[in-house]
Chains A and B, each alone.
Chain A
Amino acid sequence: MIPLLRHARYVLSENPVTGLAFALFAMLLVAAIFGPMLAPYSPLQSNAAMALKPPSAAHWFGTDQLGRDIFSRVLVATRLDLSIAFASVILAFMLGALSGVAAGYFGGWTDRVVGRLADTIMAFPLFVLAMGIVAALGNEVINIVIATAIINFPLYARVARAEANVRREAGFVEAARLSGNGEARVLLGHVLPNIMPIMMVQMSLTMGYAILNAAGLSFIGLGVRPPAPEWGIMVAEGANFIQSGEWWIALFPGAALMLAVFCFNLLGDGLRDIIDPRQRT
């Protein structure tokens, strides 16, 4: 652990951008946890008199067509956007890591079934498949989570499979098996924990993509429904006003979205440098 920390400090000092990513991440976390408390206005309260006002001292990000405060809406939306992305990444990780580890460890038909499943998902353009899944399962937030998890599943399954395959014959696994542990116990207690670091990197790398995907789905009207504050849907609402010059309605939620994705992409690269320096490009 100590060498890992020292290496982390080295990577941070070499690459200040990763430090910036960590700072952004902390900011997002604060917004997600305390957002509703910090917001100066109610995100849902409309006010016809104040509709479509550009940014001002009272409304930092301006107001939308219903006179709602955009700053409050952007802030409050952080929780929903991050929750959707986080939940889908966790789900993808659980499905992918378990089936991938099983495929790599047992081989044989388990491997073939998991491989076939992953290949079939990869045969679709991923966003299009997500659209199809949400359309079929119903227009609910939970289905965005499921769809995003499904399209990320092959990535996790493949990484987990490769890692488990390498470790199948490793000494510590052999030792665990010989000391009388059942296969499931060896798998969950010894193989899985060892591939956690690499899966963590994978999770932070796919987090940005999950945010983009979820926001994209709600942009075309899937999942999240108005008036719920969510970045994708807010950009969609703002899109109607771009041609008449009311730029702030779409700009601020879009910028928040961009910043969040940027943060997780940088974080993923930084974590990879810390955990797996060989992969560095």
Chain B
Amino acid sequence: MLKLLLSRLATAVPSIVGVVVVTFMLTRLLPGDPAAYFAGLAASPQAIAEIRTKLGLDKSLPEQFVGYIVDLAHGNLGNSLSTGQPVVTEIATRLPASAELTLFALILAVGIAIPLGVLAAVKQGTWIDHLCRIVTTAGVSLPVFFTGLLFAYVFYYLLQWAPAPSGRLDVFLSPPTHITGFYLIDSALTGNMEVFWGALRQLALPAISMAIFSLAPLARMTRGSMLSVLGSDFIRTARASGLAPGTVVFTYAFRNAVLPVITVLGMVFSFLLGANVLVETVFAWPGIGLYAVNALITSDYAPVQGFVLTMAVLYVALNLAIDLLYGLVDPRVRLDS
């Protein structure tokens, strides 16, 4: 397992290098004069020249790249123009909000998609199979920001079941003591049930919107791989051995069928991290997506670059975790490496 970990870490290195090079290029690609952009719209020529020296834009490209790397190594992503705060600090304080939303959406998506896919495969051709087909085709067709708005209209405005789509917690409640930064976990740990329910109610609609968008590839893959596994020789052996139907479907078929499902998790995360930006915008969720969108509107580029880099590094790390999970489930990968 250690060997697997090392070999997978080695494959993540070129991805990280690529990500760093691309984000560096994005900062140099800024239309016109990057210094002018970083200085802001109302800056004087002297201020722009100052910024240019400060950003090192008067140096050669390789020198600039080295400077960029050094900055990154020191955890320096520049400062936000509009708030004046270091981008790293702002992203770090907002990350838990995005992470809580994304992970909760993932858990919802997996919790719905996998049982649905398994049932659709086991009861092929029945209503549940058709339901699965409709959900997977409709799910990827729904723009996530549109679903979010519809939910807000129906469940907040019409039915008033959900709280106003404005952030992580009602204004009358104060956030729980900071332990993990996840409101659900922190409030549960401190036994603050009022805040727990409040946070859950705020989380429900954005998380469901994201889950609907991302469960399609999961359900589709679960159904497909369950079908092919159920038709395989070893399932016939299991049935011929008289194993109980539950054992056949779960211990034998499902554990094999879950392997391709793990590999689409990468795509699902790509969907989720993208959808995260849009959903945070709709629900005024104070995460890094909303931070980046607000910075975009004010042409504040350092936060946008920092956001892209953070998301990419997170995504590489998640893919690494997916690879390791695959190795845990499949002994062939674990023992061969």
Contact = CB atoms under 8 A, between A and B. Distances in A.
Query: Do A's and B's CB atoms come within 8 Å in the complex?
Result: yes
19 contacts: A119-B14, A120-B19, A123-B15, A123-B319, A125-B273, A135-B26, A135-B301, A135-B304, A208-B140, A216-B274, A220-B277, A238-B149, A242-B152, A250-B146, A257-B143, A258-B141, A261-B142, A265-B137, A265-B140
A128 B308 contact: yes
Nearest to B297: A221
Nearest to A254: B146
Interface in A188-219: 208-209, 212, 215-216, 219
Interface of A: 116, 119-120, 123-129, 131-133, 135-138, 208-209, 212, 215-216, 219-222, 232, 235-236, 238-239, 242-245, 247, 250-251, 254, 257-258, 261-262, 265-266, 269, 281
B135 to A, nearest CB: 13
A257 B278 contact: no
B15 A119 contact: yes
Closest 5 CB pairs of A and B: A127-B274, A120-B18, A125-B273, A254-B146, A138-B31
Given A133-B26, A219-B278, A243-B164, A125 B270 contact: yes
B304 A262 contact: no
Contacts of B152: 242-243
Contacts of B293: 220-221
Nearest to A269: B137
Nearest to B22: A120
B277 A131 contact: yes
B205 to A, nearest CB: 12
Given A133-B26, A239-B149, 4 more contacts: A220-B277, A221-B296, A254-B143, A269-B137
Contact of A216 (B30, B138, B143): B143
Interface string B88-114: 000000000000000000000000000
Interface stretch (B69-77, B237-245, B310-318): B310-318
Contacts of B143: 212, 215-216, 219, 232, 235, 254, 257-258, 261
B292 interface: yes
A137 B145 contact: no
A137 B29 contact: yes
Contacts of B15: 119-120, 123
A242 B282 CA distance: 10
A21 to B, nearest CB: 10
Interface in B196-231: 220, 223-224
A72 B79 CA distance: 44
A236 B292 CA distance: 16
B312 A128 contact: yes
Contact of B157 (A127, A245, A261): A245
Contacts of A261: 140-143
A230 B253 CA distance: 47
B149 to A, nearest CB: 5
Contacts of B308: 124, 128-129, 131-132
B224 A281 contact: yes
